Amino acid sequence: MVATVIDGKAVAQAIRSEISDEVRLLSQKYGKVPGLAVVIVGNRKDSQSYVSMKRKACAEVGIKSFDVDLPEQVSEADLVKQVHELNANPDVHGILVQLPLPKHINEEKVLTEISLEKDVDGFHPLNIGKLAMKGREPLFLPCTPKANPLDSENFCNGLDYVKKCVDFDQLLVTKSLLKLCEAASVGIYFTTCMQGCLELLHRNGVSIKGKKAVVVGRSNIVGLPVSMLLLKADATVTIVHSHTSDAERIIREADIVIAAAGQPKMIKGSWIKPGAAVIDVGTNAVDDPSKKSGYRLVGDVDFEEASQVAGWITPVPGGVGPMTVTMLLKNTLEGAKRILEQRS
């Protein structure tokens, strides 16, 4: 059996086309378009790359982009004030604050100040709490990461930050890694991944209800939220982590595998149930002297082996990564629709 390779780029482009059509309808009906604001603290090179990528993506679908650049020395109070102003701005329907923030600022404090209705990142404690509860629906689903090649200079700069967060369960906790994969540099948001994972399954005809799903990794950014999304979709969910006994056997029983451990090629082809759907969230740089950069990107799954056994599989890069910003745009659109409909 040779797996169907899930083309994240094609799926993302199809979704962006749908978003563009809906934005046009909103403009015709309300005279307004969705607005997405990104707050950046400091002058990190990778931050500017992210802003450029986000601005281009917004323009492609007709979403208005708001960029707030603040100095490295900005006080926590002034940053919170800026967030409050965006909360009150009727033209802004989604707010992102770039992480990491300077050490003198409490990230959790700042993030909880973002209006629940504009938390397009999906990580407000109330959104996560509703996601965890049966019969409750969060306003936004956490959207995640990684795809395209990156330049070596920015990779090395960002990797120093990433290394501080690394172990089997925690590598994917650092939101910096999204840039590493999505826009040829390191650093910003590990968002939209979970939503993108399920969207890839749905759009490739993979049913979730009643299936055995195994999530490899239990980070707050990917593993735990995606396991809750799968549970809401009526899958029977098991989480494999660094203290799990006989992980290989558990993974081999899965109809759906979500790999988010941050360990290059950890999951071998022999670990995959024939015909299973495999979504590889991992993006890992491994040495490759044949490449100009000196490295290449691989996932948590051994693609060459697993693709001979699985029914569906995402490549790295080009699988989950292209979905990240696209699902962020989709959340911004949904936020705008909700707000505009309430006001009409």
List Cα–Cα distances, 87 to 93, 124, 291, in angstroms. 8, 14, 45
Cβ proximity of 199 and 185 under 8 Å: no
> What does residue 238 show for φ and ψ, rounded to 5 degrees?
-125, 135
Active site residue 54: yes
* 337 vs 121: CA distance, rounded Å: 16
Q: Which residue has the tokens 């693709």?
A: 307
Active site residue 98: yes
What distance lies between CA 290 and its chain's CA centroid?
Answer: 30
The residue from 46, 64, 82, 98 that is catalytic is: 98
Residue 128: name the closest of 114, 144, 139, 113 by CA: 139
* 99 vs 175: CA distance, rounded Å: 7
Query: What residues contact residue 125 under an 8 Å CB cut-off, 6+ apart?
Result: 112
Active site residue 121: yes
The CA-CA-CA angle for residues 102, 108, 109, to 5°, reads: 90
Cβ proximity of 281 and 222 under 8 Å: yes
Q: Where are the beta strands (DSSP E) in 167-251?
A: 212-216, 236-240
Q: Which two tokens stand for residue 259?
A: 């790999």
The residue from 46, 119, 121, 302 that is catalytic is: 121
List Cα–Cα distances, 140 to 40, 120, 191, 195, in angstroms. 22, 6, 11, 10
Cβ proximity of 177 and 217 under 8 Å: no
N-to-C CA span, the chain: 53
The residue from 46, 54, 82, 119 that is catalytic is: 54
Q: Which residue has the tokens 């595998």?
A: 257
Active site (catalytic) residues: 54, 98, 121
